[in-house]
Amino acid sequence: MTPARLPGYARGLARREESAEEASEVYREAARRAVGAFTVPTAEVVASADGGELGELLRGAYSGIVVSRGRGDIADRVSFLND
């Protein structure tokens, strides 16, 4: 008899499959709850952020940031993308 045909193997496999399905359902539920969940930083946090922290805040808030080439005020050349 091969190990896959032994009764103990089949029972163990069934338990592992059931456990994997339960874990998958827990994950799916957590993913459903997390969709759209986010934290908005306070104005004080944004104002006190250094360059690296501000970059991280912006990367978390927007899908992209486009800075057009040119001279002049940077505020006129920056676009924030939000998908």
Domain with 27 in it: 1-37
- Residue 69: pLDDT band by 50, 70, 90 thresholds? very high
Q: Is residue 44 part of a domain?
A: no
Task: Tell whether 8 and 33 lie within a shared domain.
Answer: yes
Q: What is the pLDDT of residues 1-50, one digit of tens each?
A: 667 778 888 889 999 999 999 999 999 988 888 776 667 778 888 889 99
Task: Tell whether 58 and 81 lie within a shared domain.
Answer: yes
Q: Is residue 58 part of a domain?
A: yes
Q: How many domains does the chain have?
A: 2
Q: Is residue 42 part of a domain?
A: no
- pLDDT at site 27: 92
Q: What is the per-residue DSSP string for the chain?
A: --GGGSHHHHHHHHHHHHHHHHHHHHHHHHHHHHTT---PPPHHHHHH--HHHHHHHHHHH-SEEEE--SSS-GGGTEEEE--
Q: Is residue 43 part of a domain?
A: no
